[in-house]
Amino acid sequence: MAAQWAVLALLAACMASAAKESVLNMCMDAKHHKTEPGPEEALHGQCVLWKDNACCTANTSTEAHQDQSYLYNFNWNHCGVMPEKCKQHFIQDTCLYECSPNLGPWIDQADTSWRRERILNVPLCKEDCELWWEDCQDAITCKENWHKGWNWTSGTNRCPRGFMCQPFKYVFPRPADLCEKIWSNSYKYTMEHRGSGRCIQMWFDPANGNPNVAVAKYYAQNGRDASPTPRAVLLLLPAALLSLL
């Protein structure tokens, strides 16, 4: 019996390791993502950071820079023209979402008709979140959650009746409010800094490599919900394998 459980434990460890590796270097099952990451030499503008290994196509990267693109028919300028310095952060957010192959540990099932998977609670570096908030605090919006609740009768997003346009700094009083609420907790505000290996960077210098590769690996190996724990795998093994021992 001891030998049998030793074999089960070994198999469980192998399966747990494989499960953790499976969330690395992957693309989510969403509207515009490729099925597998790979080189994309022609990525446009701010998305070029991911050209060596991307989940987005060149066309998707170009559309990510439009005020209102075919990607989601979403209009940044729903309460007037968004300042350029603010728009750059939303473009970078879109590039990260569409292009990054390093979000696997935070991929979750989605309950929408247009995508099967989404990201949830991606730990965003403190600087990225705070700079986003700082550069957008005087931009104007009417909603704190941009994922849902819009008036789409015109084919693009418009403010619902009764919602007032006001500066971001009133809709999102703190950086954490912006980063966590605007996309239904896709991101999580953290106290971790760029270069720490513990948070995802929206911005980085590709000449120094992609720091998010190491971040994804760290969280994949440290019990993120996307990776089954060894104990969970072990509980699944006996019924399937005891008959083979």
Flag the least confident range among 2-6, 111-115, 178-182, 220-224: 2-6
Confidence of residue 223 (pLDDT cuts 50, 70, 90): low
Distance of CA 124 to the CA centre of its chain: 9
> Going along the chain, which residue ranges are E strands?
107-109, 117-119, 122-124, 140-141, 166-167, 187-189
| Residue 129: other Cβ atoms inside 10 A | 24
Q: Estimate to the nearest angstrom the gap between the alpha carbon of 185 and the chain centroid.
A: 10
Kindly report the pTM of this predicted structure: 0.81
Are 203 and 128 in contact, with CB atoms under 8 Å apart?
yes
pLDDT band at residue 228, thresholds of 50, 70 and 90? very low
Rg, C-alpha atoms of the chain: 20
Other Cβ atoms closer than 10 A to 116: 14
Q: Are 22 and 45 in contact (CB under 8 A)?
A: no
The pair phi, psi for residue 68, each rounded to 5°, is -145, 105
Cα first-last separation, the chain: 9
Q: Which amino acid is at 139?
A: A
- Is a pLDDT exceeding 90 seen at residue 211? yes
- Position with higher pLDDT, 244 vs 181: 181
pLDDT at res. 204: 95
Contact predicate 50/43, CB 8 Å: yes
For residue 232, what pLDDT is reported? 32
Which residues on neighbouring strands pair with residue 118, listed in sequence order?
108
Report pLDDT for 224: 55
Instruction: Match 């750059």 to its residue by tokens.
Output: 88
Write down the mean pLDDT value for the chain. 85
Q: What's the DSSP call for residue 68? A: B
